[in-house]
């Protein structure tokens, strides 16, 4: 068999990093110590090459070896924990949000339900360096009906839950563009479902424009909405571009959460 790790330049061979990952994966799957000979057979690797690789991983704390039996080490466990945490919500949305913020140079917000499912919680916020910008703190809560992200969550809320919400909600005017009646809110939610996009101008704050799209999970539910917020005049002028950027980012986060359907499903 080709033994590229035995060559002086073995570490620079493209296959060497892959073999490292394969070794760690096999040890992690095994769940208990694996002897060198068994590991070599499972990975179809020469024992001499595998031994050198294991020694290097042991020095870095990624493998522990006792009496010729090998297991994942503390550094490999830390790496696994970090990978899991980065895939958990809302951390998994951060890379797409950062890309979106760089593209639009406006405030990017990830909004989720609060425990009562009647308000939106700003789970994560990225603000631009632009001196004239919409500024809001993560952790803040606001009524669902008052913002583009909140209306996105409402639009894809399970029908029975949405019906209960609409029967009990008390609409309060927060800004000059706040939706005024349940009938108007129902019409707006229907439009959001039809287009996949929610737009709010002066809905929660005077002078603020927001555009939002849904984030779907593996079950096809919408646990969050992703939005771009900006001063009204600048936001309205860039609406078409913002919608295209949001669609790409919203789909990216949805795929990370396991959604496999058409995005957005209109």
pLDDT for position 183: 97
Cα 105 to Cα 99: distance, rounded to the nearest angstrom: 10
Other CB atoms within a 10 A radius of the CB of residue 241 amount to 12
Same domain? For 119 and 239 the reply is yes
Helix ranges (DSSP H) in the chain: 15-30, 36-43, 47-59, 74-87, 94-104, 148-155, 159-168, 182-195, 232-237, 239-256
DSSP-assigned letters across all residues of 127-184: --S-SS-----TT-EEEGGGSHHHHHHHHTS-HHHHHHHHHH------STTS---HHH
Which of 233, 256, 224, 230 has the alpha carbon at shortest distance from 104? 230
What is the strand order of the sheet 224-231 is part of? 141-143, 119-126, 107-113, 224-231, 208-215, 198-201
Same domain? For 146 and 22 the reply is no
Same domain? For 198 and 143 the reply is yes
Q: Is 261 part of a structural domain of the chain?
A: no
Of 28, 58, 84, at which residue does a domain stop?
84
Q: Is 263 part of a structural domain of the chain?
A: no
Number of domains forming the structure of the chain = 2
Cα 147 to Cα 143: distance, rounded to the nearest angstrom: 8
Q: Are 247 and 135 in contact (CB under 8 A)?
A: no
**CATH number for 226:** 3.30.450.40
pLDDT for position 255: 92
Same domain? For 123 and 245 the reply is yes
What's the domain range around 72?
A: 4-84
Same domain? For 12 and 43 the reply is yes
Same domain? For 216 and 164 the reply is yes
Radius of gyration over alpha carbons of the chain, in Å?
A: 25
Q: Is 266 part of a structural domain of the chain?
A: no
The 3-state DSSP class for residue 224 equals strand
Q: Is 79 part of a structural domain of the chain?
A: yes
Same domain? For 197 and 245 the reply is yes
Which pTM value belongs to this model?
0.70
Same domain? For 181 and 222 the reply is yes
Same domain? For 107 and 189 the reply is yes
Q: Is 26 part of a structural domain of the chain?
A: yes
**CATH number for 35:** 1.10.10.10
Q: Which residues, including other chains, have CB under 8 Å from residue 216's CB and lie 6 or more apart?
A: 222, 254, 257, 259, 261, 263, 264, 265
pLDDT tens digits for range 40-93 = 898 888 989 899 999 999 899 988 988 888 888 888 777 766 655 555 677 889
List beta partners, residue 227.
Answer: 109, 212
Q: Are 12 and 1 in contact (CB under 8 A)?
A: no
pLDDT for position 5: 38
Same domain? For 174 and 218 the reply is yes
List beta partners, residue 107.
Answer: 229
Same domain? For 40 and 153 the reply is no
Q: Is 184 part of a structural domain of the chain?
A: yes
Q: Is 264 part of a structural domain of the chain?
A: no
CA separation, residue 162 to residues 145, 177, 185, 186 (Å): 11, 22, 11, 10
Q: Is 262 part of a structural domain of the chain?
A: no
pLDDT for position 81: 62
Of 84, 116, 142, at which residue does a domain stop?
84
Of 84, 101, 121, at which residue does a domain stop?
84
Note down pLDDT in tens along the chain; length 266 residues: 344 433 433 444 446 788 888 888 888 888 788 998 998 898 888 989 899 999 999 899 988 988 888 888 888 777 766 655 555 677 889 999 999 999 999 999 999 999 999 999 999 999 998 888 998 989 999 999 999 999 999 999 999 999 999 999 999 999 999 999 999 999 999 999 999 999 999 999 999 999 999 999 989 999 999 999 999 999 999 999 999 999 999 999 999 888 999 999 87
pLDDT for position 92: 86
Same domain? For 68 and 100 the reply is no
Cα dihedral across residues 263, 156, 200, 187: positive or negative: positive
Cα 51 to Cα 62: distance, rounded to the nearest angstrom: 14
């Amino acid at each position: 068999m080709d033994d590229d790790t035995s060559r002086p330049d073995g570490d620079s061979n493209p296959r060497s990093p892959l073999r490292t990952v394969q070794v760690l994966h096999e040890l992690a799957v095994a769940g208990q110590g694996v002897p060198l000979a068994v590991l070599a057979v499972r990975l179809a690797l020469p024992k001499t090459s595998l031994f050198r690789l294991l020694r290097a991983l042991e020095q870095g704390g990624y493998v522990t070896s006792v009496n010729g039996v090998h297991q994942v080490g503390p550094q490999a466990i830390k790496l696994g924990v970090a990978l899991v945490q980065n895939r958990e919500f809302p951390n998994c949305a951060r890379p797409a949000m950062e890309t979106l913020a760089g593209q639009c140079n406006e405030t990017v917000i990830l909004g989720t339900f609060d425990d009562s499912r009647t308000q939106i919680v700003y789970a994560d916020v990225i603000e631009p360096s632009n001196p004239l910008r919409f500024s809001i703190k993560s952790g803040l809560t606001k009524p669902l009906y008052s913002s583009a992200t909140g209306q996105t969550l409402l639009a894809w809320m399970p029908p029975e839950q949405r019906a209960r919400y609409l029967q009990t909600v008390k609409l309060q005017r927060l800004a000059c563009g706040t939706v005024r009646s349940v009938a108007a809110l129902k019409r707006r939610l229907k439009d959001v479902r039809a287009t996949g996009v929610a737009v709010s101008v002066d809905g929660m704050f005077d002078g603020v424009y927001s555009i939002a799209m849904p984030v779907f999970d593996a079950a096809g539910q919408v646990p969050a909405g992703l939005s771009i917020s900006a001063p009204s005049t600048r936001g309205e002028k860039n609406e078409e571009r913002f919608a295209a950027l949001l669609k790409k980012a919203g789909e990216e986060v949805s795929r990370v959460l396991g959604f496999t359907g058409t995005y957005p499903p209109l």
